Chains A and B, each alone.
Chain A
Amino acid sequence: MQLVDVLAPDRIAVDISVSSKKTLLEKAAELLSTAPGSAGSRDIFDSLCQRERLGSTGLGHGVAIPHGRVDSQAEVSGAMIRLKRPIDFDAPDHEKVDLFFALAVPGQCTDTHLRLLAEMAERLGRESQRHALRTIDDPDELLRLLSTSPADAQAQ
């Protein structure tokens, strides 16, 4: 399972504005809850907030991967948010964050989910990927980018 498999064009929000970490997580929960088989946005929001308290999901370089386990979630669903203006997200490098890939994970977390998160962290650790994700506006094109292996994108 890859990031592109859990995203959909209608769960990609580009150049929106939020005023805080809390409103970002609200927006992410809203998007995630529209996926088929998804829990309600309130349950997802609670889970994202709880996970964030254990430690920030900020990866550094302005990217974060907010996620949480949700009991009533049937399948993992994903959403992408790109902000017009970055916000404070307690990232380890203290940089503000503008690029978010959010996940709602079923209550029973499996290896598949761990690998998905690892794959995301690996992809988003590449400057070329981050640059492309920050410059492409069209959701379909963004999904096309995410469907290529990050190493290929590097080569382009």
Chain B
Amino acid sequence: MQIIILGAGQVGTGMARSLSAEDFDITVVDTDPERLRELQEKLDIRTVLGHAAHPETLIRAGIEDADLLIALTNSDETNMVACQVAYSLFNTPTKVARVRASDYLAHPELFNRENTPIDVLISPEGLVTDHIQRLIDYPGALQVLDFADGRAQLVGTRAFHDGPLVGHELRALRDKLPSGVDARVAAIFRNDEPIIPEGDTVIEVDDTVFFLAARNDIPVVMRELRRMSEPGHRILLAGGGNIGASLARRLERSHHVKLIERDPVRAERIAEDLDTAIVLVGDCADEDLLHEEGIDETDVYCALTNDDEANILSSMLAKRMGADKVITLINRPAYVDLVESDRIDVAVSPQQVTIGALLTHIRKGHMVRVHSLRRGAAEAIEAVAHGTPGQSKVVGKRIEEIDLPPATTIGGIIRGEEVIIAHHDVVIETDDHVVLFVADQRSIRRVERLFAVEAVFV
């Protein structure tokens, strides 16, 4: 597959890095020769210098043969025009663009073939805001991933000694759950190594456990793995950028929200937009300020400034001063590995959240959702099964009969409105949405082939 990435910023670079590790033909376009040189030294990609929306630049980048254009420059307008040019002049099949301005996003009728031909709109800030909101909803969760518009969720959580299932075989889970509630453990990570769960796998303290369940059942299942507190009520947000401001707006109705912003002008503008949330002007690394604002009684502290180091330091401070859960926004992938420990509960990487959204359109087969996990080492996938029993490698088969590649499990199926948790005798039907956990990225190709339809499928 030939892919052109416009813009070598954080998301563009992150995307190029993770895609170039796979078998793709990648070209990155940017106006900054320094950035491109740096990128080319590190990665096996092509680079093209020039204005991302100009037809001449796009031709040099190979647009005539490209299957996919991903427009991630800093300018919404450049991204939109680049997609228009790609469509009108070059018939590019799939065009993805980052559009940030909420004013554009408020008019979805702009984005279609007759107007601005963008097939997929990506808003990293929106994705990160959703991601963090789900983490706030489930206090014990390290990851909360939606499938089938949230009807089913895959939750990653750490097993604690006080969880009733901890120290027991997985097959005990079904008996421990109240009737009508079901869940499937899709993967376990122990000391950073994936374990493919079987019925006799015993959950140990400190395992990171990923399980799939219908949304309403998540808290019940999570209580089997750890003592659960009620969803946090007191939220302190540090940083009044797009993510901080929109989180404050979304949470203020149901939570007690305070937001710290350094810039008084920006703080005033955010405050005008909020009803009950309180906006404070100050520095989030200021111990006195955190103390005054009751950090020791804060349920969730989120560090959301655009400065990684400031986010990390203020999160560690907040945790030490008594915040119950801290969530830290971190852009540099290398830092994410460093800090997730007992000092910072969850590190959120905008790149990783965004890459999942992009992978949905890159993976072959009919993929509805792809979530990238563990710095791209694992993926959680919602794939649609098509075809008739004779034609498909999954349709008409019991789950135990499916030839799954290594390190891959089926967590469940969404059939219409119904969430069906995977058990060995469940039979896959055509049009089922199948949720898979692929703990080793090398198995992705085989998962794609499993869900690929036959050549004669119409």
Which of A's residues lie within 8 Å of B, judged by CB? 19-23, 26, 42, 45-46, 49, 51, 53-59, 64-65, 67, 69, 90, 92, 105, 109, 113-114, 117-118, 120-121
Q: How far is the CB of B458 from chain A (nearest CB, A)?
A: 5
Cα–Cα, bound, A23→B453 (Å): 22
Which of B's residues lie within 8 Å of A, judged by CB? 2, 64-67, 91-94, 364-366, 386, 451-458
Binding site secondary structure of chain B: loop
> Would B455 and A55 count as touching, CB distance under 8 A?
yes
What are 10 A-B residue pairs whose CB atoms fall within 8 Å in the complex? A46-B93, A49-B67, A54-B364, A55-B453, A55-B454, A57-B455, A109-B458, A113-B458, A114-B458, A117-B458
The 8 Å CB contact of A56, one of B91, B386, B455, B458, is B455
Given A23-B64, A54-B365, A64-B455 contact (CB < 8 Å)? yes
Q: How far is the CB of A94 from chain B (nearest CB, A)?
A: 12
Cα–Cα, bound, A32→B437 (Å): 40
Minimal Cβ-Cβ distance residue in A for B87: A42
Chain A residues whose CB sits within 8 angstroms of the CB of B458 once the complex forms: 51, 67, 69, 105, 109, 113-114, 117
Cα–Cα, bound, A74→B453 (Å): 25
Cα–Cα, bound, A23→B386 (Å): 27
Given A114-B456, A117-B456, A54-B366 contact (CB < 8 Å)? yes
Chain B residues whose CB sits within 8 angstroms of the CB of A56 once the complex forms: 452, 455
Cα–Cα, bound, A77→B452 (Å): 25
The 8 Å CB contact of B65, one of A19, A65, A92, is A19
Chain B residues whose CB sits within 8 angstroms of the CB of A105 once the complex forms: 458
Cα–Cα, bound, A53→B93 (Å): 11
> Would B455 and A23 count as touching, CB distance under 8 A?
no
Minimal Cβ-Cβ distance residue in B for A20: B65
Q: How far is the CB of A26 from chain B (nearest CB, A)?
A: 6
Which of B67, B386, B458 lies at the interface centre, i.e. has the most chain A CB atoms within 10 A of its CB?
Answer: B458
> Would B65 and A23 count as touching, CB distance under 8 A?
yes
Q: How far is the CB of B403 from chain A (nearest CB, A)?
A: 15
Minimal Cβ-Cβ distance residue in A for B25: A20
Cα–Cα, bound, A70→B426 (Å): 34
Cα–Cα, bound, A58→B454 (Å): 9
Cβ-closest 9 pairs across A and B: A55-B452, A20-B65, A55-B453, A49-B93, A117-B456, A57-B455, A54-B453, A109-B458, A59-B455
Cα–Cα, bound, A45→B67 (Å): 12
> Would A45 and B91 count as touching, CB distance under 8 A?
yes
Cα–Cα, bound, A55→B452 (Å): 4
Chain A residues whose CB sits within 8 angstroms of the CB of B64 once the complex forms: 19-20, 22-23
Which of A20, A26, A105 lies at the interface centre, i.e. has the most chain B CB atoms within 10 A of its CB?
Answer: A20
Chain A residues whose CB sits within 8 angstroms of the CB of B456 once the complex forms: 65, 114, 117-118, 120-121
The 8 Å CB contact of A22, one of B93, B453, B455, B457, is B93
Cα–Cα, bound, A22→B67 (Å): 6
Q: How far is the CB of A115 from chain B (nearest CB, A)?
A: 10
Chain A residues whose CB sits within 8 angstroms of the CB of B452 once the complex forms: 54-56
> Would B91 and A65 count as touching, CB distance under 8 A?
no
Chain B residues whose CB sits within 8 angstroms of the CB of A67 once the complex forms: 458
> Would A55 and B66 count as touching, CB distance under 8 A?
no
Known pairs A45-B91, A55-B365; list 17 more (Cβ under 8 Å): A20-B64, A22-B91, A49-B67, A49-B93, A49-B94, A53-B365, A54-B364, A54-B452, A54-B457, A55-B452, A55-B453, A55-B454, A65-B456, A90-B364, A92-B455, A114-B458, A118-B456
Chain B residues whose CB sits within 8 angstroms of the CB of A114 once the complex forms: 456, 458
Minimal Cβ-Cβ distance residue in A for B66: A22
Chain A residues whose CB sits within 8 angstroms of the CB of B454 once the complex forms: 55
Cα–Cα, bound, A49→B366 (Å): 12
Cα–Cα, bound, A19→B63 (Å): 12
Chain B residues whose CB sits within 8 angstroms of the CB of A117 once the complex forms: 456, 458
Cα–Cα, bound, A53→B448 (Å): 10
Minimal Cβ-Cβ distance residue in A for B453: A55
Chain B residues whose CB sits within 8 angstroms of the CB of A64 once the complex forms: 455
Chain B residues whose CB sits within 8 angstroms of the CB of A57 once the complex forms: 455
Which of B66, B365, B451, B456 lies at the interface centre, i.e. has the most chain A CB atoms within 10 A of its CB?
Answer: B456
Q: How far is the CB of B291 from chain A (nearest CB, A)?
A: 55
Cα–Cα, bound, A120→B454 (Å): 14
Chain A residues whose CB sits within 8 angstroms of the CB of B65 once the complex forms: 19-20, 22-23
Cα–Cα, bound, A110→B18 (Å): 42
Chain B residues whose CB sits within 8 angstroms of the CB of A121 once the complex forms: 455-456
Cα–Cα, bound, A28→B211 (Å): 45
> Would B457 and A55 count as touching, CB distance under 8 A?
yes
Minimal Cβ-Cβ distance residue in B for A55: B452
> Would B364 and A55 count as touching, CB distance under 8 A?
yes
Given A26-B91, A121-B455, A54-B67 contact (CB < 8 Å)? no
Q: How far is the CB of B360 from chain A (nearest CB, A)?
A: 11
> Would B66 and A65 count as touching, CB distance under 8 A?
no
Minimal Cβ-Cβ distance residue in A for B448: A55
Cα–Cα, bound, A113→B457 (Å): 10
Cα–Cα, bound, A122→B67 (Å): 30
Q: How far is the CB of B184 from chain A (nearest CB, A)?
A: 26
Cα–Cα, bound, A108→B458 (Å): 10
The 8 Å CB contact of B67, one of A21, A59, A109, is A21
Q: How far is the CB of B386 from chain A (nearest CB, A)?
A: 6
Chain B residues whose CB sits within 8 angstroms of the CB of A118 once the complex forms: 456
Cα–Cα, bound, A67→B454 (Å): 12
> Would B93 and A58 count as touching, CB distance under 8 A?
no
Chain A residues whose CB sits within 8 angstroms of the CB of B66 once the complex forms: 22
Cα–Cα, bound, A53→B386 (Å): 13
